[in-house]
Amino acid sequence: MSREVPLVAGHALLGSLKELREDVLAAYLRAQRTVGDVVRFQAGPPGLRTEVYGVFSADGIQQVLGSQAANFRKDNPTYTEIRESVGNGLLTSQDDEYVFQRRMVQPLFTRRRVNGYADAVHAEAIRTIEGWKSSPDGVVEASAEMAEFSLRAVTRILFGADIDTALDVVRRQFPVIGDSVLRRGVSPVRLPRTWPTPANRRTLAAQRELYDVCDRIIAQRAAAGERDDGSDDMISLLVRGRDEDGSGLTGAAVRDQILVFLLVGHETTATSLAYALHLLAGHPEAGARARAEVDTVLAGRSVTAEDVDALPYLNQVLKETMRLYPAAPIIGRRAVADADVAGFRIPAGADVYLAPWVTHRHPDYWERPETFDPERFTPDREAARPRYAWFPFGGGPRACIGQHFSMLEACVALATILQRYDIEAYDPPGHTVSAALGMALRPAGPLRVRVTARTMEAAA
């Protein structure tokens, strides 16, 4: 018999509203430590009170994302907001529509294709770090630098030759959409989008401009596609893609996919990279070991996709960074029917949240969880851990399709940086920069590092 889920104690009138609003990650972490692996929060005044569930143990997560995935759907407010803001692409679609989309999108993310993106990623990394030579005092702010790098990298892969046209609109308008999704996705009261409030007007204008630029480029690719001009940016591939019965994505469906890739495909990798640089700078031994590995494997030449598997320590560094700073720190679902998760009863209609932020610090799986230690990710130690102790890319049938691309992008960029610059701490020893929740996890303050250009002889 399933047990009732214990309630996290909160304010008599407002429940846990204040804690969840102020710092949802800290509130979840505290709840796991003080209440347990499956918890229930109440928030808001009586009558308007909402309830959310948190599931933090590896076996519970496996049930929600894996074995009971059909019962835990993307019907929650955040996914509804994303659908309404950028269309119903692969991240949010469900059922038959999802199955068709996944079939059409999968060929863009095969290992061969993803490896083919490495040169573009390398070129964008070089372009980003060129500017570091002239930075005042040799200090750079890693999160802004990595955000610009990964925005350019993903936009180039999506839009090919039209990168500059797209970048101009994406830079101006995407933050407006992101803010709106965040604000509306967590707000208990959502005014209809059609009401002409200033915020709604801004969001609609941003959406229109983004749709227009995508539609224009998609139409050009569709016209060129009939001649098959050989372009292999993602828009061209999606426009030309056909199922066995000859059906393909409509122009609007291509746009939906592109906008989703932009929404989840750049800030996430930027966050991992920025924290990786900051952590390596603050842990000189790990930094020296990563640099030595890069120098040995590359011996002065540029990194390629084939090198990624030959850089195990760099991959460990990235995994450990994503443990401490998972770019998607919370993953939500809504239960369709009553369910048993890890021995607890979750009722139909419940909003259920999983939190890599919490599980990645769970004392059952991680010793000294706040310590940065890439040795946790040696193959033996990884194999000894439950599958869902580490799940920055989600799991089950809706696991991240961009996982390999993101790891390749981060590894290529990090190798390129370490080959060309020595990275040192700017902040005093032990300084950490906490994280805040945006569309992706973001550093709550500047992530400064000192950089000194190396000579290529030193790196060879």
Give the residues lining the site for ligand HEM (CB under 6 A). 90-91, 102, 154, 260-261, 264-265, 268-269, 272, 327-328, 331, 392-394, 398, 400-402, 405-406
- Strands of 351-354's sheet in order across: 38-43, 50-55, 351-354, 331-335, 72-73
Which residue number, 158 or 451, has a Cβ lying nearer to ligand HEM?
158
Distance CA(439)–CA(433), nearest Å, equals 18
| Angle between the N-to-C axes of helices 403-420 and 312-324, in degrees from 0 to 180, rounded to the nearest 10 | 110
Structure tokens at 384: 């000894």
Kind and range of the H or E run holding 383: helix 379-383
Helix (H, G, I), strand (E, B) or coil at 5: coil
Q: Which is nearer to ligand HEM, 261 or 388 (CB)?
A: 261
Select 15 or 392, whichever has its Cβ closest to ligand HEM: 392
Neighbours of 351 (CB within 10 A): 17
Q: Which is nearer to ligand HEM, 103 or 242 (CB)?
A: 103
Find out whether 193 and 266 touch, Cβ atoms under 8 Å. no
Which is nearest to 263 in space by CA: 177, 328, 331, 203?
177
Cα dihedral 103→108→110→111 (10° resolution): -170
Distance CA 74, CA 103 (A): 19
Question: In the Cβ-directed half-sphere of 33, how many Cα atoms lie within 13 Å?
Answer: 12
Q: What's the min distance (Å) between Cβ of 453 and ligand HEM?
A: 27
Minimum CB separation from ligand HEM for residue 186, in Å?
16
DSSP type of residue 62:
I
Query: What is the distance between the alpha carbons of residues 316 and 379, in angstroms, rounded to a whole number?
Result: 9
Distance of CA 164 to the CA centre of its chain: 24
Residue among 68 and 269 whose Cβ is closer to ligand HEM: 269
Q: How far is the CB of 324 from ligand HEM (least distance, A)?
A: 13
Q: Least distance (Å) from ligand HEM to the CB of residue 332?
A: 7
Nearer to ligand HEM, 213 or 260 (CB): 260
Closer residue to ligand HEM, CB minimum distance, 42 or 269: 269
> Which residues 6+ apart lie within 8 Å of 164 measured at CB?
none
Minimal distance, residue 322 CB to ligand HEM, in Å: 6
Q: DSSP string covering 64-94, please?
A: IIIITGGGEES-SHHHHHHHHHH-S-TTT--
Least distance in Å: CB of 438 to ligand HEM? Answer: 13
Task: Return the number of the residue (17 or 276) whose C-beta is nearest ligand HEM.
Answer: 276
| CA–CA gap between residue 460 and residue 455 (Å, rounded) | 9
Minimum distance from CB of 375 to ligand HEM (Å)? Answer: 21
Q: In the complex, what is the shortest distance from the CB of residue 404 to ligand HEM, in angstroms, rounded to a whole number?
A: 9
Q: What is the maximum alpha-carbon separation in the chain?
A: 70
Shortest Å, Cβ 401 to ligand HEM: 4
Closer to ligand HEM by Cβ: residue 297 or 327: 327
Nearest distance in Å: CB 105, ligand HEM: 7
Structure tokens at 413: 């960029």
Q: CB within 8 A of 128, min separation 6: which ones? A: 145, 146, 148, 149, 152
Residue sitting closest to ligand HEM (CB): 402
Q: Which is nearer to ligand HEM, 10 or 66 (CB)?
A: 66
| Shortest CB 406 distance to ligand HEM, Å | 4
Query: Which stretches of 342-415 are assigned E, i.e. beta strand?
Result: 344-346, 351-354
Residue number, 184 or 360, with CB nearest to ligand HEM: 360
Cα separation, 460 vs 458, in Å, equals 6
